[in-house]
């Protein structure tokens, strides 16, 4: 049986790296791409790539690099905005499945830096889906976000809920991706699956997200900002559960269609309880600064995962207590904290 060729964008990112690690030696040819931007610590991105078996020379990473962990895994540095370059990849490797996890992330950053979101999340996304359609890929899977639900007062969030009121530009770009995806399915019959991620955390996580910011402040005895006076709830979703869910989709025989799925923990956690778990695990106490609600933020996220459970048997297995413990264990090891 011929190996399928999978293109994973954002391979040096949190979810892209974690998914790729799970697919190593699973019988695929994997082409990973990333632009390695400096939105957060680039060294963490380099270390993720190194952990995938790539020898990274930070001064020269323009050529294709082969992994030493899996001979069928390679990396190329490229922007999604480079339409000609992306099309060359499709021509060379005959891509069967696209998993688009590349995007400019961050809700608050989108307020002060809108141009990069339009460029990466809309122009880059459109380039990728256009080329995928041209080369008739079997399946186009892409990352959406729970942020598309805005400040919905209905919980849990269901895929059929109205998502026409984003409260950040980041959310608007993700909603745009869903609309563009639906159009490409209707126009060209492209088989498309969008995944609305809910606050993913865990080992190799993003330094700009609350869990990493909390630990950095806790171990350095710095003050953390707690917004909305701590009255926030998040459907914190452990990375291993998310990756397992994506794998179920990759390995499934998909009928042609356009689908949107929530993929989360289905169990929101009060922010203050989440914070207390860090203190319990480390025997340290936070210095706190309570602030009002931030522009673009939402009070609660809560994933209804009935649809993805029914279609793929997805069910998260990691409790918030287990997840925080594993995350702290990794953090201490990575940052050499005794």
Catalytic residue numbers, as ranges: 170
State the residue for tokens 């696209």. 98
Strand partners, 30: 6, 73
The per-residue b/e assignment along 208-228, b for 16 or more CB within 10 angstroms, e otherwise, is ebbbbebbebbbeeeebebbe
Are 312 and 249 in contact by the 8 Å Cβ rule? The answer is yes
Whole-angstrom distance, CA of residue 198 vs CA of residue 212: 16
Q: What is residue 185's DSSP assignment?
A: H
Whole-angstrom distance, CA of residue 34 vs CA of residue 91: 18
Number of CB atoms found within 10 A of residue 325's CB: 15
Are 300 and 151 in contact by the 8 Å Cβ rule? The answer is no
* Helix (H), strand (E), coil (C) string for 27-41: CEEEEEEECCCCCCC
DSSP 77-90: E--TT-HHHHHHHH
Cα dist. 54→42, 71, 117, 161 in Å?
15, 11, 28, 42
């Amino acid at each position: 049986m011929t190996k399928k060729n999978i293109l994973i964008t954002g391979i040096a990112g949190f979810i892209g790296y974690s998914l790729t690690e799970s697919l190593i030696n699973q019988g695929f040819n994997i082409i990973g791409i990333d632009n390695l931007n400096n939105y957060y610590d680039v060294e963490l991105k380099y270390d993720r790539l190194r952990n995938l078996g790539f020898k990274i020379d930070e001064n020269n990473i323009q050529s294709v690099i082969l992994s030493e962990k899996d001979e069928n895994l390679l990396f190329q540095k490229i922007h999604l905005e480079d339409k000609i370059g992306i099309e060359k990849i499709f021509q060379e490797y005959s891509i069967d499945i696209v998993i688009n996890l590349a995007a400019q992330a961050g809700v608050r950053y989108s307020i002060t830096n809108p141009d990069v979101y339009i460029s990466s999340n809309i122009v880059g996304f459109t380039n990728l889906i256009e080329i995928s359609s041209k080369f008739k890929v079997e399946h186009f899977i892409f990352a959406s976000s729970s942020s598309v639900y805005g400040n919905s007062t209905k919980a849990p969030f269901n895929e059929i809920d109205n998502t026409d009121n984003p409260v950040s530009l980041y959310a608007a770009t993700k909603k745009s991706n869903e609309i563009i995806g639906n159009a490409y399915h209707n126009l060209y019959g492209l088989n498309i699956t969008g995944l609305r991620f809910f606050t993913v955390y865990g080992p190799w996580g993003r330094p700009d997200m609350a869990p990493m910011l909390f630990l950095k402040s806790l171990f350095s005895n710095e003050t953390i900002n707690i917004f909305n006076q701590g009255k926030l709830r998040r459907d914190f979703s452990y990375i291993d559960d998310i990756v397992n869910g994506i794998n179920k989709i990759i390995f499934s025989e998909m009928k042609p269609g356009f689908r949107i799925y929530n993929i989360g923990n289905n169990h929101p956690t009060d922010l203050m309880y989440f914070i207390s778990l860090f203190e319990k695990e480390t025997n340290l106490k936070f210095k706190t600064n309570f602030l009002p609600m931030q522009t673009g933020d939402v009070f609660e996220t809560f994933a209804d995962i009935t649809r993805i459970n029914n279609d793929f048997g997805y069910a998260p297995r990691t409790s918030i207590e287990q997840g925080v413990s594993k995350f702290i264990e990794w953090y201490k090891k990575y940052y050499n904290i005794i």
